[in-house]
Structure 1
């Protein structure tokens, strides 16, 4: 039996195109994480990647790059803004320099519980901040990782009051609100890149830092820090951002899929914090960390920052009325 190759060619071509079509539509995204694997950022990013893979039947996948492999957290905002990076999970204080109104969420002692953090980020205030960040920074917040309160650690001694900070060198991010908080407590903190922090603590360049229990555990700070003070001046939020240019290049259906995955990953992150934080604190205690509660329920810490730090940043967050609105939403 003779075959006509010319007649079969269109058939082979059609079959080849049909097979190739899914591959052509497939996309592998990159996601930057500032923290090491095992922390809140990793949990958030992993859940988002899992959900996106599932919702697209494997056509859209995400590779995670922890420990600042794709640059420091502020670099990832820049790279996402110009379309060189797809996704990043990073501390909210590293978004603030690009979109100052987001600083509302880092104002000391505004958020006083995980439920309050959820209420602000997932309500009208959170949506306004999402829109501002698109406008100001060229990135879109599509999810929130909830990491818990930033507690103070140091290698020298127990700290109960702001006066106990004297003589200690404390690392902070390059964030004006956080720097001002420590200045209000009577010390000049040392701004230091996140990627340099463990080494700085290890070598004694700085004596202490502040971060949530989950981050302290993931970064193994217990190896270079002994004392923990349970100040709760900032609730650590770590938004999941996507490059707005890359987001807009997706089909409307794919955009909705990305948003849905971000929303579900946000809920997962909140639940993860609830079920994990106390366990991690217990593990840190078992590894030798010593915990101290602030004297008089943090009253001295609170008074110094609300009286001196809040007014300095009313303008950058959009006016005092923005803070008043947030406090009203929280019932205060």
Structure 2
């Protein structure tokens, strides 16, 4: 246990925290983590240092939730779907086609809905969400053929996280996806164990999936959100001054993440095109994709996310 000494409003004992990052350096998780680190260093006048460990160096993303919950890890940035097994109500944010834009993602995470989900995650998982990385929509990539309709998925083996909502979405499109840990995904694609996966442009670029994938389908079924969490037990050990710094840095880093996405997403798509990836739009404006999952997937998960009223409340917040 670390004890802090305070002199006036100055932190008198230097402290280094460890932060796990699921993705490789260069993606939105890394951008959020480095911005948070820099803000904490500045506000503490150099007394607080955050060591970043990207690319799953401290374990897979679900392991980092466990380790943070029991106080063995300070911070983690990870995909929201890897928090869902520990705090099912955050699965609301992975309901297919609920979020339709970056603005809607910000509205849900930064408003009352996001605060409620944060409180639930403290209660259920023992971690506190203090920031968000906004990565954009999870586009589908594969190494075999162009995909424009759900029928085109036939014959493809698609990797998904171990997330029941995402698994059910692909099943609604007529295929049985393969759940696979994030740390195994590149190798799985490289060796042909799986043919495809879905992630935002920024993640595809950061993970260099262009080396093992060719075709991109611009799906908009899930907006990729990656929370920055802190161990609740470690958070509560800190003096109020440091708690305030952490919360403030998380908010500012989240705002930075939004701007990073808006500035970089189109540039990164162009870079992927230059590296040989070929892009396709879903047929019929994605209508069939959407109808199939909203009809069959939403009702199946109402109970796990706190009831249909939670979806209705989110849609009301979004003006839909």
Q: CA deviation at 1:24?
A: 6.2
Equivalent position SS for 1:316:
coil
- The one of 61, 65, 74 equivalent to 1:73 is 61
Structure-to-structure mapping, 1:107-256, within 5 angstroms = 107-256=95-244
Q: Which runs of 4+ in 1 moved over 3 A?
A: none
Equivalent position SS for 1:30:
strand
Q: CA deviation at 1:290?
A: 0.2
The 8 Å contact of residues 88 and 305 in structure 2, kept in 1 or not, is answered as yes
Equivalent position SS for 2:24:
coil
Q: Matched residues in 2 for 1:240 and 1:39: separation?
A: 14
Q: CA deviation at 1:173?
A: 0.1
Q: TM-score, normalised by structure 1?
A: 0.93
Deviations 1:117-167 (A, max 9, x none): 000000000000000000000000000100000000000000000000000
**Unmatched 5+ stretches in structure 1:** 1-16
Equivalent residue, structure 2, for 1:10: none
- The one of 295, 306, 314 equivalent to 2:283 is 295
Deviations 1:144-194 (A, max 9, x none): 100000000000000000000000000000000000000000000000000
Q: CA deviation at 1:202?
A: 0.3
Equivalent residue, structure 2, for 1:272: 260
User: Is residue 45 from structure 1 mapped to residue 2 from structure 2 by the alignment?
Assistant: no
Equivalent residue, structure 2, for 1:313: 301
- The one of 69, 72, 82 equivalent to 1:94 is 82
- The one of 20, 42, 48 equivalent to 1:60 is 48
Q: CA deviation at 1:23?
A: 9.1
**Unmatched 5+ stretches in structure 2:** none
Deviations 1:199-222 (A, max 9, x none): 000000000000000000000000
The 8 Å contact of residues 12 and 47 in structure 2, kept in 1 or not, is answered as no
Number of paired residues? Answer: 313
Q: Matched residues in 1 for 2:248 and 2:126: separation?
A: 20
Q: Matched residues in 1 for 2:286 and 2:11: separation?
A: 57
Equivalent position SS for 2:141:
strand
Equivalent residue, structure 2, for 1:84: 72
Which has the greater radius of gyration?
1
User: Is residue 26 from structure 1 mapped to residue 21 from structure 2 by the alignment?
Assistant: no
Q: Matched residues in 2 for 1:126 and 1:193: separation?
A: 26
Equivalent position SS for 1:168:
coil
